[in-house]
Amino acid sequence: MNILDKEEFKALRENIMFYVFDFFYGFMRVDLQTKIDITESWLNKTEKGQMHHRHWHPNSLLSGVFYLDSVGDTGAIKFITSQYDTLEFGIYDSNIFNSRSWSVLPEIGGLL
């Protein structure tokens, strides 16, 4: 738990915060008076053929995944949103902004 608070992960935390700030203030255009920080961090290890169960982080404004290591064909991570629960539209050109789910193949050092 809270591994990004450990000294050995200090540089990784700073790197991740760079991208969190870029997304939150740059892409989302949130006012600089609003502060954002990492409140929880942990490690998961998945062996070949294993997977993590479908889950949500309802207490989080923003959640992410960083791949420390990835070997060969690990399979995709799938992000699912409930943003469109009340209305659904036919989409002719899917992208990460208009889809209920989106799969990404992980890469070592990838931050999603």
pLDDT one-digit tens code per residue, 12-63: 999 999 999 999 999 889 999 999 999 999 988 887 788 888 887 877 888 8
The whole-number pLDDT of residue 71 equals 60
Q: Is 95's pLDDT higher than 90?
A: no
Could you give the percent of the chain with pLDDT greater than 90? 33
Q: Is 80's pLDDT higher than 90?
A: no
| CA atoms of 79 and 54, how far apart (whole Å) | 9
Q: Is 84's pLDDT higher than 60?
A: no
Say what the pTM is. 0.72
Pick from 64, 71, 70: which is nearest to 17 by CA?
64
Beta-carbon contacts of residue 102 (< 8 Å; ≥ 6 apart): 78, 79, 96
